[in-house]
Amino acid sequence: MSTRSARVPAYAKLNLGLRILYKRPDGYHELRTVFQTISLADTIDIAFTRRNSTSIRVEGTPEIADNLVEKAARRLTEEFSIKGEIVFHLKKRIPTGAGLGGGSSDAAAVLLSLPALAGKTVPPDRLHAIATELGSDVPFFLHGGTALGLGRGEELYPLPDMPAAQGILVLPNIHSSTVEAYKALSARLITTSAQSKLSNFQADVWRGIGGSNDFEEVVFEQHPQLRELKQRLIRLGASPAAMTGSGSAIFGIFPEADKRAGAARHFPEAGVVPIRFINRSRYQSAFQRALLA
């Protein structure tokens, strides 16, 4: 039996701005965000061999509970009658509990690649629905680049590419729980503040790269060292510097290359990764190239 295989990237994201408006009747929070894919990426090797039954294996990474790679593959095989032996080899570089969307991006990479390897065409609206089921951030990674996210983050509109930007990601050794961050923030949300958050968010989006993240308030309280990392980035010349998602990673965009080069050594207590923005056409062509090869 012939095996079809591909090596695909799963890029991380930043939230260039993130406003949490209110808790909805369905338990999720209504948000506004600008998503941006960046160069930090996991790598997923996928091998598909047609068979009469289906098996899914994920190798190469320590046991991750509820691995979204396996879940995404399972959903596709069930819904589109894909039968075969599917083996993933996952090289993780995106830390978990960092607000970088690593698990979500892995899941979307599977949704984009497995049907192609199995010779199935999946309508975009079905793919989007499955992505939304898997997690609020997964649909964004079906597209990449710069996008406006509304609702739970699954209602997406493309934004024009940001100007090429480079910076650094500071990765403290802290695992921040999204569910806990929402709980802590939820208790403080009052409906009257939603309107002013919307006004601020609009102003940020018109200006370009905004840096307001509502999760900073609660997560910085719990981990004061994160506030300090953000302030240090600003002192070193980052504009903006902000936490991404529910943390704990803090990013700094450096308009000046020399300041960026010097900044990394000022964070001996954390991991530091240089980053650049990945625009939508680069994001999409990375998948097309990988799947044509």
The set of catalytic residues is 13, 137
Q: Answer yes or no whether residue 22 interacts with ligand C5P by CB under 6 A.
A: no
Give the separation between CA 3 and CA 106, rounded to whole angstroms: 21
Q: Answer yes or no whether residue 35 interacts with ligand C5P by CB under 6 A.
A: no
Residue 37 in contact with residue 142, Cβ under 8 Å? no
Q: Please report, as residue ranges, which positions from 168 to 187 form the binding site for ligand C5P (by CB under 6 A).
A: 178-179, 182
Give the separation between CA 233 and CA 2, rounded to whole angstroms: 51
Tell me which stretch binds ligand C5P (CB under 6 A): 26-34, 49-57, 220-228, 256-264: 26-34
| Residue 178, burial from CB neighbour count under 10 angstroms (0-12, 13-18, 19+) | middle
Q: Please report, as residue ranges, which positions from 121 to 140 form the binding site for ligand C5P (by CB under 6 A).
A: 135-137
Q: Closest distance between ligand C5P and the C-beta of residue 256, in Å?
A: 35
Q: Residue with structure tokens 């994160």?
A: 226
Q: Answer yes or no whether residue 103 interacts with ligand C5P by CB under 6 A.
A: no
Cα distance between the two ends of the chain: 19
Q: Answer yes or no whether residue 251 interacts with ligand C5P by CB under 6 A.
A: no
What is the SS3 assignment for 122-147? CCHHHHHHHHHHHCCCCHHHHCCCEE
Q: Answer yes or no whether residue 153 interacts with ligand C5P by CB under 6 A.
A: yes
Tell me which stretch binds ligand C5P (CB under 6 A): 25-33, 209-217, 222-230, 282-290: 25-33
> Which residues sit at the interface with ligand C5P, rule CB under 6 A?
28-29, 31, 135-137, 152-153, 178-179, 182
